[in-house]
Amino acid sequence: MMQRSFSDRCATRPLLCATVLAFLLALPPAVSSHQEIQAQIDALDLRLMQQPGDAGLLMKRGDLYRRHGDFPAAERDFLAAEQAQPVAEDLAFFRGRLQLDAGQPATAEQSFSRYLNDHPSQVKALILRAEARLDLRQPLAAAADYSRAIFLSESPAPELYRNNALSLVAAGEPQWPAARAVIDSGLTRFALEVSLLGLAVDIALAQDDLEGARMYFSRVPEAIRSLPQWTARSELLARLVAVKPGERVAALSTAREELLARGLQLH
C-alpha cells in the first residue's frame, strides 16, 4: 500500500493538520530545531537500513548527531564512513567540525589541514581551522587563514575582517599596524560598520595615535557614541589628550590592556 504524504492527509483531515502545525509553530525555536534534527536522523536510519555502509549517508547522519550534541554517535558514524568504500570526499572536514565542537582543537586543526590540502579554496574550512588555531594559541597562523578566507570570498563578512585583525592583535604589539591595515581594508567595504570602527579606535588608542582615533570616531553615528563601550572609548581618548607627561604611560597601558582583552575574546 502506498504511503500517503502529509499533504495528502491534510486534504482529508484539515482540522487535525491545523492542530499539529499550530503545535509545531508554538514550540520554542530550540525545541523545534531539536525535533527537526531528530526527524532527519530517523530518515537517515531508514535509508541506511536499505543502503548499509553508504559513506555519504553515514557522514550526513554523523554531522546531524554533531549538531544534536551526541558526539560519540557522530564519531561512530564517521569511523564507519572512513571504513566504507568509496570514502566520502568531505569526511575530513566533517570530522574536523566534530573535533572542534568537542574541544579537541589539535586534532581538528589536523583534519582541516588534510581537507585543505585537497580543497585549498574552501573558505569555511579555512575559517574553522583559524578557530582551531586560535584555541591552540597560534594567532598568526589563524590570521593567515582569515586573510586567505577574505581573499577567496566573493562577499567577505565584516566579522572576517574583525577576526583577522583580532588574531593579529593577539599576536602582540608588533602586529598591531597589520591589524589596523586589515580593519582599514574592511572599512573600504563597510564604511559604517560599527564593530570595525570600534576596533579601529581601540588599536589607534593603543598605538597612541590620537588623531587616528578621532578620525575613526568622526565616522560613528551620534546615537552609537552614547552606548557604554563608546563612552568608555571617548573617556579614554580624552584622558590621553589631557594627561600629563608623567601619567601618559599609565593611560597608554590602560588602552593596551583593553585592546588585548578584546583580542583574547576570540579564544
pLDDT digits (tens, 9 = 90+) for 7-21: 444 444 555 445 544
Prediction pTM value: 0.80
DSSP H helical ranges for 2-104: 6-12, 14-26, 29-50, 55-68, 71-83, 91-101
Position 86 scores a pLDDT of 78
What CA–CA distance (Å, rounded) separates 46 from 54?
Answer: 12
What CA–CA distance (Å, rounded) separates 206 from 200?
Answer: 10
% of the chain surpassing 90 pLDDT: 54
What CA–CA distance (Å, rounded) separates 111 from 114?
Answer: 5
- The model's pLDDT over 139-164, given as tens digits with 9 standing for 90+, comes to 999 999 999 999 999 999 999 999 99
What CA–CA distance (Å, rounded) separates 45 from 87?
Answer: 19
